[in-house]
Amino acid sequence: MKPTAVQFGAGNIGRGFIAQLFHESGYEVVFVDVVPEIVAALNENRQYRLRIVGRGAQDIQITDVRAVHGQQREQVAREVAACEIACTAVGVGALRFVAPNLAAGLQLRHAQGGGALNVLVCENLHDASGLLKSLVAEHLPEAEREAILAKVGFVQAVVSRMVPLQTEEDRREDPAGIRVEGYKKLPVDGQAVVGTLPSIVGVKVVADFEAEVERKLYTHNCMHAVMGYLGHLAGFTYGYEALEHPATRAMVDAVMEDTGLALVRKHGFDPQEHAAITLDILERSRCRELGDTCFRLARDPIRKLAPDDRLTGAARLCEAQRVPNDRLAFVIACALRFESPEDPSSLEMQQRIRSEGVERVLQSLCAVAPEEPLGRAILTEYARLARASEPFETILDRAVRHER
């Protein structure tokens, strides 16, 4: 029998990325999910199609899979007790639902004399691994808690594979099938591993994990935010359209130059290597077959404008490394203008701006004071965008050239 890998979450990342790595490493993949249709499809077919688009386009059958519904706690516990590796990719808000099942499995594993288990944490939050560990600890008996946790590695990972929103046509064609890009590197925090991490295709154990996290956040995530917010204001539907238009592409390149210089200064990255990584992300983001929309890249601005997230965090990084952040200030102003009836976060933000004023919202969302240099720059650009006395392209061109 094959060794098993337990994958909490059979969504875009779980089914569309991590399961492929486990499959190619010789594991039977046991998904834990709460969507009945997905659980049923995986158990009925025991395989699904992974459609790679863009570079290296191909269809891959992910075989030897099955699923357990998250409400079947005893069965989930048995799977965790017996597996060789586990992973979460459920979204930060759902970790509290994963924790009781994972704790039950770890307790059973401990009772059976099982060895160490590393849990890859593929969640888009700084220190999501620490959050999961604390949630699991709450569900362990106090007398055994310390001994159980000593044998568990909560190993944060950096996910960079692009997986767009699946269309209704995709779901009708294959309920469990999924469309993704071919990129399959997964850096993980080497300092968090307990014992020995099993050999898994694509997994790279990183010593200086914080540097890797910041590079991803202020390069990949930041780039996508720039594409999303500029593309939305420019009237584009897809992210690749923003990269194909000279004015918006110029701003994307300029912001990447700024954040790249700041990252190189802070972490000592090789400038040529970092430039190559940035270019690779740009080329991957141009993939038309992914169909990544400006809406998806821009949605949830309240989270994406947080002080340590992809835009404000990048602006603070530049500030600390003495790199101009005027162009990031412009993008933050564009983000503050984002509104879509399909995105509750943007509607809440706009309501707060109308009732409280943009200055107070800037302070509360971004922790940027209106009177500090970054705050003044953001508010200047916001006012220019609000007046709309010039075409957006003209305003954008001026911002790229640092002109006020």
Domain C-terminal end among 168, 186, 206: 206
pTM of the model: 0.88
The chain-wide mean pLDDT, for the chain, equals 95
Q: Are residues 306 and 265 in the same domain?
A: yes
Q: What is the DSSP string of 84-102?
A: SEEEE-S-GGGHHHHHHHH
Q: What is the pLDDT of residue 400?
A: 87
The lowest-confidence range among 66-80, 188-202, 384-398 is: 384-398
CATH number at residue 342: 1.10.1040.10
Q: What is the pLDDT of residue 334?
A: 97
Task: Evaluate if residue 404 carries a pLDDT over 60.
Answer: no
Sign of CA dihedral 393, 394, 399, 402: positive
Q: Are residues 200 and 215 in the same domain?
A: no
Q: Are residues 165 and 184 in the same domain?
A: yes
Domain C-terminal end among 148, 176, 206: 206
- Mean predicted confidence (pLDDT) in 355-360: 98
- Mean predicted confidence (pLDDT) in 146-157: 98
Q: What is the pLDDT of residue 391?
A: 82
Task: Evaluate if residue 305 carries a pLDDT over 70.
Answer: yes
CA separation for the pair 313, 373 (Å, rounded):
15
Q: Are residues 282 and 269 in the same domain?
A: yes
Amino acid code (one letter) for 42: L
Q: Are residues 145 and 247 in the same domain?
A: no
Amino acid code (one letter) for 192: A
Domain C-terminal end among 189, 206, 223: 206
Task: Evaluate if residue 274 carries a pLDDT over 80.
Answer: yes
Amino acid code (one letter) for 268: G
pLDDT band at 309 (very low <50, low <70, confident <90, very high): very high
Q: What is the pLDDT of residue 403?
A: 60
Q: What is the pLDDT of residue 69?
A: 98
Q: What is the pLDDT of residue 54?
A: 84
Q: Closest by alpha carbon to 338, among 219, 230, 218?
A: 230
Q: Are residues 109 and 22 in the same domain?
A: yes
Q: Are residues 265 and 377 in the same domain?
A: yes
For residue range 152-181, what is the model confidence (pLDDT) as tens digits?
999 999 999 998 767 777 777 777 889 899
For the chain, the helix, strand and coil percentages under 3-state DSSP, each to the nearest 5: 55, 15, 30
**What domain range includes position 376?**
211-400
364 phi and psi angles, rounded to 5 deg:
-75, -40
Q: What is the pLDDT of residue 32?
A: 98
Task: Evaluate if residue 35 carries a pLDDT over 60.
Answer: yes
Give the CA distances from residue 41 to residues 35, 36, 78, 91, in Å, rounded to whole numbers and listed in that order: 10, 8, 22, 22
- If one counts the domains in the chain, the total is 2
Q: Are residues 193 and 275 in the same domain?
A: no
CATH number at residue 175: 3.40.50.720
Q: What is the pLDDT of residue 174?
A: 75
Q: What is the pLDDT of residue 100?
A: 98
For residue range 118-129, what is the model confidence (pLDDT) as tens digits?
999 999 888 899
- Mean predicted confidence (pLDDT) in 272-282: 96
- Mean predicted confidence (pLDDT) in 174-202: 93
For residue range 200-234, what is the model confidence (pLDDT) as tens digits?
999 999 999 999 999 999 999 999 999 999 999 99
The 8-class DSSP code of residue 191 comes to G
Q: Are residues 194 and 226 in the same domain?
A: no
Q: Are residues 184 and 269 in the same domain?
A: no
Q: Are residues 19 and 148 in the same domain?
A: yes
Q: Are residues 179 and 41 in the same domain?
A: yes
CA separation for the pair 104, 110 (Å, rounded):
10
Percent of the chain with pLDDT over 70: 99
The lowest-confidence range among 215-219, 266-270, 277-281, 397-401 is: 397-401
